[in-house]
Chains A and B, each alone.
Chain A
Amino acid sequence: MGYLDWLIAVPAVGALVVPFIPVSEERRSLIRGFGLAISLVELVLAAVVGVQFNSHASGYQFVTDVHWIQSFGVSWFLGADGITLVLILLTALLFVIAMFAMKGVKDFRAYVGWMLLLEAACMGSFTSLDLFAFFVFFELTLIPSYFLIADFGMGASGKAAVKFFVYTFAGSALLLVGIVSLVFIHDSETHRLTFSLPALMDTHLSGTTQLLLFLAFTAAFAVKTPIFPFHTWSPDAYRAAPIPAVVMLAGVMAKLGSYGIIRFDLELFPSTARSLAWLMLTLAVIGILYGAVVAAGERDLGRLVAYSSLSHMGFIVLGIFAFSTEGMSGSILQMVNHGIYTAALFLLLGMIYERRGTLDMAKLGGLQKRAPIFAAVFMLVVMASVGLPGLNGFIGEFLILVGTFITHRWWAVVAVAGVVASAVYMLWAYQRVFHRSQADASPFGEIKLKEALLVAPLLALIVLLGLYPAPLLARIDPTASAVVQHVLAAKGPVSDGASLPAVVKGVK
């Protein structure tokens, strides 16, 4: 078994063991210890993969390829390139944090079990190069995240969880039909039934077929990311779900969507991706602006962060469909950055909620006087999210905007407004919560040691990646430029190749 197999197997086996650990209710912290141990082992594994990764190669590394279900041509085909690598690292890190952030959880056993299953499913989705295996893992993420949202929610979480599930499942229903159709078209061309991504990349598709398949695939990823206008589940889910679940939802699972776009949409349907780039770019820009405007009008901190997340995911999509190496690298890096600062932000929101029982900004205020260190930490994270130079949010956003400006000038120009707006609403929010006269006279405890330790690694990464992103970028760049080359080199669709889109002219 290779490292990637272990990455999936360790949490999966952990999840299976958890329900059967013979521990009484009183000593349930043992279960928490078990979950922590597993997630730490996972982090070490991910770090080993990161160290052993050859950063000069753009292809897949640590490949495992064995037959799984011969009748359907399915194989257990795992591999990691630069994109996969950074997402694996992010996932492993955030799960450790989420395991620590178990405050307020009533049922440890269920929490740890579902978390570990979710981790296995996320790792599986990020490393699978077989479309069937990817789909299976992609689907599997829904079940634990449903329970995490619904089971430990802060109120109307059951409804939000169902909304989340039905939206994403409907998206992946289309994805499944798309995958199977693609496989059978490939089968009829080559008489080889296979779900392997590299093999399917050679399928010859007519323009219409490619368009339909692209839309079917994108539907699933757009819901997950979320891309405007498929985002409506996300504010409800982010607001209603308990903090650790949101950390996973916004930090890791949202990346499944953007990852899927790069890995599958761009690799399988490059020419359609190119001809539909205007649409995706426009949706991304609308998402950026819409998210920013709504966030500025929100009174609830949780929903505000949810909409700001929509806005920031818009940047990631923008960078992807700019089809320049800078934009692509920026997007991939920004996936990691967004995961880190969103996770930190939600953890801090959780601490506020725990102390005050509300995230309504009208009822908060003046917290800085009572908890100056807490305020400083919050400020740092807000600044990272706004994109202050020197912090991690800046690098990714900058690369994305530069990359987009090179190829699609006007989209970049409009998108810059989103950067400005994000500074506006974030600082407003900070001002309302931490400055002003306090609305509530009750005391607000300073950040505790445990809490500080929880966010400390994230803060360290925010600064570190802001000052020195090179280790990550070095691993991302070869893959990013390979993907961009693949898209730009792709010939037009089989039958109606004449209609080369304006997008390509822009590149030249």
Chain B
Amino acid sequence: MIFANVLSQLPIALPAISYKAVAPELVLFGGALLILLVSATVGKRELPGLYRAIALVAALAEGGFSGYQLYLAQGAKASLAVAGAIAYDGFSAFAGIVVAAILLLAILIGPGFIKRIAGDGPEFLVLMLISAMGATVMAQGEDLIVIFIGLEILSIALYVMVGYRIGDGLAREAAFKYFILGGFSSAIFLYGIALVYGATGTTNLAKIGAFLALNVLTHDGVLLFGLALLLLGFGFKVSAVPFHLWSPDVYQGAPTSVTGYMAAMAKVGAFAALIRVFDIAFAGQIVQWRPIVVGLAILSMVFGALFALRQRELKKILAYSSINHAGFILLGVYAGTAAAISNTLFYLIAYAVIVVGTFGLVSIVQDSIGVSEGSCSLDQLRGLARSRPALATVTAIMVLAQAGAPFTTGFLAKFSIIVSVVEIREYWVAVVAMLSAAIAVAFYLRIVLAMFRGEPEEVEGERVLAIQGAATEAPARRQALAWIGVSLSLVFTVGFGIFPQPLLDLAARAHIVG
């Protein structure tokens, strides 16, 4: 406070900061700092239990704050804070809950496996909390600059996490690729912000919206080009076709726990910001951006499904599957109605939980067959149903949930997006989306079939031995927490798949301020 007082004496005017509004970020950042502090002062670097406890508390507190915000931020209570740069509304609160859910699952699943490749140091959890903070900043950002800062916080932490298996050539390549291309896309995004500022004279979303509502630009080329660049930046983050080229390699090269976390967290942050920027601030320009967004969505859905058919590497298949999902979520952005936005949020939380759970299961599988966190071909899954029936069954359910199997949130998510698209009477888009889902089913089934197929006779004995050998290395403790995380995501996916009403009600409260 003294520091703030001193600063306020200076000629720079500091805005009033509503700490209530930024509580989620503060909690996450505080948690990260606390872990670092503990690791620096206690004298013993590896305190996995304590770090994990702190991270879990931070995640739960963040979820709690967001839940409270969602409860408060109804109608009149929604507001802008910190000189209008931070939105404090139901939408950001719901995004905060999604972030908390991802964190919770990822903290339970990840560290045990990361330990095997990088020890029990504090860095992993710290990076996780910081990147989650970036995602919440993006979800709350009401100013393009703030969104950009959030994007960078999220991305830089993720670059480091992707490079965790630095000894492995594939992983090194992936981290490098992700970093270079991510840097490019950030730069392009920033250029887009500059152009929008040039056209409208402000970077604040509310002011941009107001400006565009009052003024008609005689030459809107600068604005539209700026919009296109913003879309490109977001497209990279969510890996929409044709900006998807990095994602299969990165998904494969990154440690499995990181892949799942990244797939979920990056999408939540980027889509939350994308919705706020396009569906709210540039709602007036919908005629211009809609064709581009629907084009990206269709390309992502169709090519995501088609390319995956030819892959034999599990994590690459899941990468293309996430591209297909990104296409579906983009359709929600494309529809843009209030109902479509809450349906998109529903898709995001459903997808985030499923994807973290799925990759958690892949981690457990890899741990069992002794390829920790690396790449994993479909052949390596063979015979899993015989050696680990429970593991195979749960994995099958999660993979089928991604495919949109009935009685899972995966189906309801796809269904709600189709509802949104039909609501704006774009029937052919809905048909294309469903047909892409039909193609996608083929590769999801291949994963499941690989597990349930028996393995070739000649290597059978050897492989079973290998699995048992790995099993006797006491993975039970390592896997116990991961199993809790995976079970939570399974319960969530099937439970809300059968009784989705509470979740839908929550999503329906997620109004955007302004």
Q: Interface residues, chain A, CB within 8 Å of chain B? A: 19-20, 68-72, 109-110, 132, 135-137, 139-140, 143, 146-147, 150-151, 158, 162, 165-166, 169-170, 173-174, 176-177, 180-181, 184
| A166–B430 CB distance below 8 A | no
B385 near A139: Cβ-Cβ < 8 Å: no
Please give me the 4 A-B residue pairs with the lowest Cβ-Cβ distance, nearest first. Answer: A173-B434, A136-B406, A71-B504, A169-B438
Residues on the B chain within 8 Å of A146, using CB: 445
Interface contact B441-A140, CB-CB below 8 Å:
no
Closest to A109 in B: B389
Provided the pairs A69-B501, A173-B435 are in contact, do residues A180 and B411 lie with their beta carbons within 8 angstroms? no
Q: Measured between alpha carbons, how far is A174 from B508 in the docked complex, in Å?
A: 27
- The smallest beta-carbon distance between B207 and chain A, in angstroms, is 34
Say which residue of A19, A140, A165 sits within 8 Å of B405 (CB atoms).
Answer: A140
A177 touches which of B405, B418, B445, B453 (Cβ 8 Å): B418
Closest CB in chain A relative to B500 CB, distance in Å: 6
Residues on the A chain within 8 Å of B500, using CB: 69, 71
Which residues in A have their C-beta under 8 angstroms from that of B412? 69
Name B385's closest neighbour in chain A (CB-CB). Answer: A110
Docked-complex contact B441 and A165, CB < 8 angstroms: yes
Closest to B454 in A: A106
Is B449 positioned at the interface, with any CB of A under 8 Å from its CB?
yes
Q: If the complex has contacts A69-B500, A143-B405, are A181 and B427 also in contact, measured as CB distance less than 8 A? A: yes
- The answer to whether B438 and A170 have CB atoms under 8 Å apart is yes
A135–B414 CA distance with the chains assembled, in angstroms: 13
Cβ–Cβ < 8 Å partners of B431 in chain A: 173-174, 177
Specify the chain A residue showing the minimal Cβ separation from B507: A71
CA distance A24 to B195 in the complex (A): 68
Let me know if B434 and A19 touch, CB within 8 A: no
Q: Is the CB of A136 within 8 A of B452?
A: no
Set of chain B residues within 8 Å of A70, measured between Cβ atoms: 501, 504
Bound-state CA distance A68–B406 (Å) is: 14
- B419 interface hit (Cβ, 8 Å): yes
Q: Which residues of B contact A69 (CB under 8 A)?
A: 412, 500-501, 504
Task: Please state if A166 and B441 are interface contacts (CB–CB under 8 Å).
Answer: yes
Given contacts A136-B406, A140-B405, A165-B442, contact A176 B505 (CB under 8 A): no
Residues of B within 8 A of A165 (CB): 441-442, 445
Q: Which residues of A have CB within 8 Å of B438?
A: 166, 169-170, 173
CA distance A173 to B427 in the complex (A): 12
Taking beta carbons and an 8 Å cutoff, which residues of B are in contact with A?
Answer: 385, 389-390, 393, 400, 405-407, 411-412, 415-416, 418-419, 422-423, 427, 430-431, 434-435, 437-439, 441-442, 445, 449, 452-453, 499-501, 504-505, 508
A28 CA to B389 CA, complexed, in Å = 14
Chain B residues with CB below 8 A from A20, complex form: 390
Dominant SS at the A interface? helix
User: B69 to chain A: closest CB distance in Å?
Assistant: 22
Say yes or no: B441 contacts A72, CB within 8 Å. no
Are A181 and B452 CB-contacts (below 8 A) given A70-B501, A137-B406, A166-B438? no
Nearest CB in chain B: distance from A62 CB, A: 22
> Given A151, A177, A180, which contacts B452 in the complex, CB threshold below 8 Å?
A151
CB distance from A501 to the nearest CB of B (A): 26
In the complex, A140→B406 CA distance in Å? 6
Give bound CA distance, A71 to B419, whole Å.
11
Contact A177 B441 (CB under 8 A): no
CB contacts (< 8 Å) of A139 on chain B: these are: 405-406, 411
- Which of A19, A143, A177, A184 is B390 in contact with, Cβ under 8 Å? A19
B504 close to A176 (CB less than 8 A):
no
Would B389 and A19 count as touching, CB distance under 8 A?
yes
Q: Which of A170, A173, A180 contacts B419 (CB 8 A)?
A: A180
In the complex, A146 Cα to B403 Cα: how many Å? 14
Q: How far is the CA of A146 from the CA of B446 in the complex (A)?
A: 11
Determine the chain B residues whose CB is within 8 A of the CB of A19 once the complex forms. Answer: 389-390, 393
Max count, chain A CB within 10 A of own CB: residue among B422, B435, B437, B449 = B422
CB contact under 8 A between A173 and B405, given known A69-B504, A180-B418: no
Q: In whole Å, how far is B237's beta carbon from the nearest beta carbon of chain A?
A: 29
- Cβ contact within 8 Å between A176 and B390: no
User: 15 A–B contact pairs at CB < 8 A?
Assistant: A19-B390, A20-B390, A69-B412, A69-B501, A70-B501, A109-B389, A135-B406, A139-B406, A140-B405, A143-B405, A151-B449, A170-B438, A173-B435, A176-B418, A181-B422
- The residue in chain B whose Cβ has the minimal distance to the Cβ of A162 is B442
Task: Tell me how far the C-beta of A113 lies from the nearest C-beta in chain B, rounded to whole angstroms.
Answer: 9
Residues of A contacting B390 with CB < 8 Å? 19-20
Q: Hey, which chain B residues are within 8 Å of A137, CB to CB?
A: 406
B411 CB contacts on chain A under 8 angstroms: 136, 139
Q: Give the distance to chain A from B208, nearest Cβ to Cβ, in Å.
A: 32
Known: A109-B389, A110-B452. A166 touches B406 (CB 8 A): no
Of all chain A residues, the one with the shortest Cβ separation from B393 is A19
Residues on B with beta carbons closer than 8 Å to the beta carbon of A68: 499, 501
Within 8 Å by CB of A147, from B422, B452, B504, lies B452
A233 → chain B, closest Cβ, in Å? 13
- A366 smallest CB distance to B (angstroms): 36
Q: How far is the CA of A109 from the CA of B452 in the complex (A)?
A: 12
- Centre residue among A70, A72, A132, A139 by max chain B CB count within 10 A: A72
Q: A71, A136, A158, A174: which contacts B434 (Cβ < 8 A)?
A: A174
- Bound state CA distance, A98 and B439, in angstroms? 31
A177, B505: Cβ atoms closer than 8 Å: no
Please indicate the chain B residues that have their CB under 8 angstroms from the CB of A71 in the complex: 500-501, 504-505, 508
Known interface pairs A132-B415, A136-B411, A165-B441; 19 further A-B residue pairs with C-beta atoms within 8 A, sorted by A's residue number: A19-B390, A68-B499, A69-B500, A72-B415, A109-B389, A139-B411, A146-B445, A151-B453, A162-B442, A162-B445, A166-B439, A166-B441, A169-B438, A169-B441, A176-B418, A177-B427, A177-B430, A180-B422, A181-B427
Q: A168 — nearest CB in chain B belongs to which residue?
A: B438
B441: which A residues are within 8 A, CB to CB? 165-166, 169
- Report yes or no: B406 in contact with A180, Cβ–Cβ below 8 A: no
**Smallest distance from the beta carbon of B490 to chain A beta carbons, Å?**
12
Residues in A neighbouring B508, C-beta threshold 8 A: 71
Shortest Cβ distance from A218 into chain B, in angstroms?
Answer: 15
Contact indicator B435/A72 (Cβ below 8 Å):
no
Q: Which residue of A lies closest to B434 (CB)?
A: A173
Are A150 and B449 closer than 8 Å at their CB atoms? yes
Count chain A CB atoms within 10 A of each CB in B390, B415, B442 and give the residue with the most.
B415
Q: Are A177 and B434 in contact (CB under 8 A)?
A: yes
The residues of A that contact B452 with a CB separation of less than 8 Å are 110, 147, 151
Q: Is the CB of A136 within 8 A of B407?
A: yes
Contact B445 A176 (CB under 8 A): no
CA distance A368 to B439 in the complex (A): 47
Are B423 and A184 in touch, CB under 8 angstroms? Answer: yes
Min CB–CB distance A205 → chain B (angstroms):
14
- Which residue in chain B gives the minimum CB-CB distance to A176? B434
Cβ of A170: which chain B residues have Cβ within 8 Å of it? 435, 438
Q: Which residue of A lies closest to B343 (CB)?
A: A71
Q: From B430, which residue of chain A is reached at the shortest CB distance? A: A177
**CB-CB < 8 A to B442: which residues of A?**
162, 165-166
Which residues on the A side are within 8 Å of B406 (C-beta)? Answer: 135-137, 139-140
Question: Complex Cα distance A150/B442, Å?
Answer: 13
Name the A residues within 8 Å of B430 (CB-CB).
177, 180-181
Q: Chain A residues near B389: list those with CB within 8 A.
A: 19, 109
Are B422 and A177 within 8 A (Cβ)? yes
A139 to B499, CA, bound (A): 18
Closest to B423 in A: A184
CA distance A136 to B404 in the complex (A): 10
Query: How far, in Å, is A169 (CB) from chain B's closest CB?
Result: 4
Residue of A nearest to B403 (CB): A143
Inter-chain contact B435/A176, CB cutoff 8 Å: no
CA–CA, A20 to B419, complex, Å?
37
B-chain residues with CB within 8 Å of residue A176 when the two chains form the complex? 415, 418, 434
Q: Which residue of A lies closest to B446 (CB)?
A: A162
Distance in angstroms from A106 CB to nearest chain B CB is 8
**Distance, CA A110 to CA B504, complexed state (A):** 34
- The CA-CA distance from A165 to B435 in the complex, in Å, is 12
Residue numbers in B under 8 Å from A151 (CB-CB): 449, 452-453
